[in-house]
Amino acid sequence: MNPSLAVWILIALSLVAANLPFIVERPFLVLPWKQGEASSRPAWQQVPASLVFFAALGGLGYVAIVFIGQGIFIAGDVASAALFVAKLMAVAVAAGVLLAVPGWLERGQDISKPFPVRLLEVLMFYGLVGVLGFAFEANIGNPFAQTWEFYAITLSLFLVLGYPGFVYRYLLRHRKVPKPKAP
Those residues with Cβ within 8 angstroms of residue 57's Cβ, 6 or more apart along the chain or in another chain: 98, 124, 128
Exposure string of 35-57, with b = 16+ CB inside 10 Å and e = fewer, is beeebeeeeeebeebbeebeeeb
Q: What confidence tens digit (pLDDT) does each residue in 101-138 have?
A: 887 877 777 777 888 889 999 999 999 998 888 888 87
Contact by Cβ (8 Å): 102, 33 = no
pLDDT in tens, 9-48: 889 999 999 999 999 888 888 777 766 555 556 666 678 8
- What pLDDT was estimated at residue 60? 86
Give per-residue pLDDT as tens, 143-182.
788 899 999 999 999 999 999 999 998 888 766 777 777 6
- pTM for the whole structure: 0.79
